[in-house]
Amino acid sequence: MVAPLAVVAVTAAPANAAVVPVRILDFNDFHGRIDANTTKWATTIEQNRDANTLLVSAGDNIGASLFASAFNDDKPTIDVLNALGVNASSVGNHEFDKGFPWFKSHVVDGGATAPDGTAYPQAAFPYLAANVVDANGNPVLPASTQVTVNGANVCIIGAVTQETPTLVSPGGVAGLTFTDPVAAVNKEVARLEGAAVDCDATIATYHEGAPKPASAASQAQQEAETPVFKHITQDTVAAVDVIYNGHTHQKYAYNNGRPVIQAGNYGESLGRLDMTIDTDANTVSVVSAAVLDRVATADNTLPRVAAVKTVVDAAIAAANVIGDKKVGTISADFSRADADLATPGVQEDRGNESTIGNLVADALREVKIPAAAKTPVIGVTNPGGLRADLLYAGDLSTSPENADGVVTFEEANAVLPFVNNVSYVDVTGATLKKILEQQWQPASASRPFLALGVSKNVQTILDPTRPVGDRVVSVTIDGAALDPAKTYTVSTFSFLAQGGDNFTAFLEGKAVDTGAIDRDLWIDGFFKDGTTKSPSAVKRQVTAAGLKAAYRSGEKATVVFSNLDINSLGIAPNTKLDLVKTNRDNSTLTFGSVPVANGGARAVFTVRGGKQLSFVAQGSKTTVARAVTQGKPTLKTKLFPKAKKIKPRKTRARIKVKFGSDVALKVKGRVMVRVAGHKYNAKVKDGVAKIKLRPFKRPGNYRVVVKYKASDNFQGVRSTFKVRVKR
C-alpha cells in the first residue's frame, strides 16, 4: 500500500515530511523569439508554475533571433528570461555566435553597452557548461548550480554539444575545448559527491538531443539511429535523475526509468515534469512528464507576464523604427528547403537546396565590396546560416510599407541574423571540390548532409553511390569545367571561411576579411539595387548516379537522377526529363522522355550522336549537358570487275564501300569518290555505299580517293587505293 500513498501525497500533505513534490518546467532553443507570441509562452509558464517549480533551459536562448531581439544584440531576450525567473540554463552553441568574449562580457557579466546605448543586463540565472574548458582543463563557466525548492536541494549540471566549434565561427571560441558532454557531466557528479554536496535530486541539461519527435520514434529507435543520443541516455551516470535535451528542436518526453525530455523550440511549447523527491534517501519518483503546447491567449494580469509584455512591447516598438522600412521587392516566395511541402509552413530541411540559399549565394557573388581588391568568382553559403524565409504576401498591419512583394528591413535581417563578416577565400579547384565533398558530414555530426547554397554560375553533379571523398562527379563554373590547379575566389561568411559546419577544407585557402557585414551586403548592396528578385526552379546541385563526363554516339547508357526538385515554397515539381540531342548545326532534337516522380528519374537510352547530349527537367528547365564524341568508322573497298578486266572506254567499273564502326550504330551518311578527274557522291545505306564509275578513257594507273563525310554519329574517314587499267 506504500506506492498508492506516495502518489496521493503529491496532491495532499505528504505522509513523510521528507518526501516533497517538485515541478520542473523546461524549454530549449528559444532563439530570441520576441514577438506577439512571447506573452502567450510566458502565460503557459505561469499557468503551469506553482510554489514548488523550477524553470530551466537547455540552451540556445539567444542567437538566430527574431529582429525585435537581434537588432539590439538579444538584450530583450535576456530581459524576458530574467523577468520569468529562469533558475538555470546550459549554454547552447548559439550562445557563442558572437564569440565567447562577447558572451562573457555581455550576458554572463552584464554591463556592456547594447546597440541602443543602454547597459546590457546580466543574466540573473547561471549559464552552465561542464564541458567547455580552457587550456588548463578548467570549465570557463560554472559546471553546475544548486537550487533549493520546497526544502529539496536540486543540483543542475549543464553541457553543450561537442560539435560547437564547427557550428560557430572558430575564431570566437579560440582557446576553448569542448569535451565529451557526458563524460563532463559524470565528472561533475563525482566532484559533487566527493565534495559532499547534498544533491537530493540531480538534473543534467544537455544542449544535444535526438533527431526526431516522439510521434515519429520511440526512445529505443532514436538510440539505435543516433549514437550521440544513445551516449547521453545510456552513459550518463545513474545518479542523474532527469535528463533535458536541446539543439535538435524536437518534442519528446520519454520515461524509460529516467525522464528524457526536449520541449521543441521557439517558445512554441514547454516541458513539464512532476516528481517527488525524498530528501532523506535522495531519490526521485516521477509522477508525470509531458511537452505542452503554448496557450492561445496571453494573460497579462499575471505579474511575470505583465513584466514580459513591457519588455516585448518596447523591443518591438524600437525595432519597428528600422524594421518596418521597405528595402526591396520580390516576385514570389523565397524559402528554405521544406521537408514536407504538404504541411503548411516550412519544416526546414538543411540537406537540400533552397531558393533562399541560392539567392544569398548570388548576393555574395554579385555585390561588389569597394574595400576588396578583387571580385569573387562564386558565392557559397551554409544552410544553417539561413534562419527565415522571404514571403511574397505582405502584412500592412505590421507596417504601412509591407505590401505584397515588399521586403522590409526586419524580414531581410531575419534571413541572416548572425552578423557575420564577409570573407573572400582564394582556393584551388582541388580545394573547392573538397569543400563540396564535405557536404557529406562526419559520422559524428547531427546531420549527415548539409547542402551548400552556390551562386547561379555554378553547377555541380553529385553521386552519393560513389565512395566518400569522390562523390563530386563534376563542377562547372561559368560553363567551364573546374580546373584543379586554378585559383578561384569564393565569397562566403566568416563562419565558413574559418571552417564552420565541418567545412574544414576552407582552411586550405587564403582568407581575407573584407570588413563588410553580411547583413549590410544583403540589404544595402543586394536588395536596394532597385531590381525585383525572382526565385528560380533551376537546380544548381544535381544528384545523379551513373552520369559520365562524356558519351560516344551509339553508346548504351543508364543515368538515375534524384533531387531534381527544389523543395521550396511555390516551386512546382518536375514532371518529366527530356533527352535532347544537339546536332552539329546546333539544331536540337528531343529523342526521349522519362517521368519524374518525387524528384527522381531513371533514363535508359542509346546516345544519338550529335555534339551534345542534354538532360532537361520539365518544368524547372534544369539542364545537365554532356559532350558527345562521334564513332570512328572503318571502310573497306572492293572494285568490280577486277582491274585487269576493265577495258578503256568500254567498262563501267563499280566500287562497293562497306563500313564498320566501333559503336552500336550502323553507318549512315554520304560518301564521295574521286578518280580520273571525276567526283562521285553516294548515299550510305545500312553501312554500304555503291558507286558506278564512268569508263576510263585510256590505260594507266589511277588513284582512287574514298572519303566519308562526318555526320552527327560518325567522324569523317578517308581511304585511297590504286587501279591499273591495261590496254
* Distances from the Cα of 356 to the Cα of 336, 341, 359, 653, angstroms: 6, 16, 5, 72
Residue 275 has pLDDT above 80, yes or no: yes
CA distance 65 to 316: 13
Question: Looking at the structure, do residues 236 and 281 belong to the same domain, yes or no?
Answer: yes
Condensed to tens digits (0 to 9), the pLDDT of residues 502-514 reads 999 999 999 888 8
Question: In which band, very low, low, confident or very high, does the pLDDT at 335 lie, cut at 50, 70 and 90?
Answer: very high
**Mean pLDDT value of segment 412-434:** 92
Residue in this structure with the C-alpha cell 562564386, named with its chain if needed: 378
The overall average pLDDT reported for the chain is 93
Select from 708, 703, 709, 705 the least CA-distant residue to 722. 703
Claim to verify: residue 578 and residue 611 sit in the same structural domain: yes
Range of the domain at 499: 324-454+467-527
- Asked whether the predicted pLDDT for residue 370 surpasses 90, the reply is no
Q: Which residues contact 320 (CB under 8 A, 6 or more apart)?
A: 398, 399, 410
Of 14-28, 455-469, 632-646, the one with minimum mean pLDDT is: 14-28
User: Rounded to an integer, what distance in angstroms lies between the CA atom of residue 491 and that of residue 488?
Assistant: 10
Residue 331: its pLDDT value, please?
A: 98
Is residue 109's pLDDT more than 80? yes
- In this structure, the answer to whether residues 368 and 304 fall within a common structural domain is no
| Residue 617's CATH number | 2.60.40.1930
Given this model, what pLDDT does residue 7 score?
22
Is the model's pLDDT at 11 over the cut of 90?
no
Buried b (16+ CB within 10 A) or exposed e, 18-36: ebbbbbbbbbbbbbbbbbe
Reduce the DSSP state of residue 310 to 3 states and report it: helix
Compute the distance between CA of residue 257 and CA of residue 260 in angstroms, rounded to an integer. 9
Give yes or no: residues 389 and 519 share one domain.
Answer: yes
Q: Is 477 in contact with 458 (CB distance < 8 Å)?
A: yes
Ramachandran area for residue 563 (φ above 0: left; ψ -120 to 50: alpha; else beta): left
Let me know if residue 117 belongs to a domain.
Answer: yes
Give pLDDT, residue 2. 24
Residue 595 lies in a domain: yes
Residues 575 and 685: beta-carbon distance below 8 Å:
no
- Kindly tell me if the per-residue pLDDT of 641 is higher than 80: yes
3 within a domain of the structure (yes/no): no
Residue 4 lies in a domain: no
Residues 6+ apart with CB under 8 A from 181: 130, 131, 159, 160, 161, 162, 206, 208, 232
pLDDT reported for residue 3: 23
Whether 19 is in a domain gets the answer no
Domain for residue 301, yes or no?
A: yes
Distance CA 440, CA 18 (A): 53
The number of distinct structural domains making up the chain is: 4
Residue pointed to by grid coordinates 526544502 = 151
User: Do residues 345 and 446 both lie within one domain?
Assistant: yes
Which residues fall within 8 angstroms of residue 610, CB to CB, at 6 or more apart? 553, 581, 582, 583, 584, 589, 628, 712, 713
CA distance 345 to 301: 32
Residue 308 phi, psi dihedral angles, 5° rounding:
-65, -40
| Residue 2: inside a domain | no
Task: Quote the CA–CA distance of 700 and 697 in Å, as a whole number.
Answer: 9
Residue 398 burial by Cβ neighbours in a 10 Å radius (0-12, 13-18, 19+) = middle
Among 281, 313, 345, the domain boundary falls at 313
Helices vs strands, H then E, count in the chain: 15, 40
Q: Distance (Å, rounded) from C-alpha 578 to C-alpha 62? A: 48
Query: What is the number of other CB atoms lying within 10 angstroms of the CB of residue 648?
Result: 14
| Domain co-membership, 139 together with 234 | yes
Q: Copy the grid coordinates of residue 722.
A: 590504286
Within a domain: residue 7?
A: no
In eight-state DSSP terms, residue 526 is I
Q: How far apart are CA 7 and CA 5, in angstroms?
A: 5
Percentage with pLDDT > 90 across the chain:
80
Same domain, 620 and 645: no
Contact 132, 176 (CB under 8 A): yes
> 192: domain CATH number?
3.60.21.10
Q: Which of 608, 629, 650 is the last residue of a domain?
A: 629
Co-location of 638 and 508 in the same domain = no
**Per-residue pLDDT averaged across 78-92, rounded?**
98
Both 130 and 231 in one domain: the answer is yes
Looking at 603, 629, 655, the residue that finishes a domain is: 629
Query: CA 189, 193, 241: angle at the middle one, nearest 5?
Result: 50
Q: Kindly state whether residues 622 and 652 are assigned to the same domain.
A: no
pLDDT-derived band of residue 476, with 50, 70 and 90 as boundaries? very high
**Co-location of 137 and 160 in the same domain:** yes
| Residues 100, 117 share a domain | yes
Give the pLDDT confidence of 680-719 residue by residue, as tens digits. 999 999 899 999 999 999 999 999 999 999 888 888 999 9
**Residue where the block lists cell 525567473:** 85
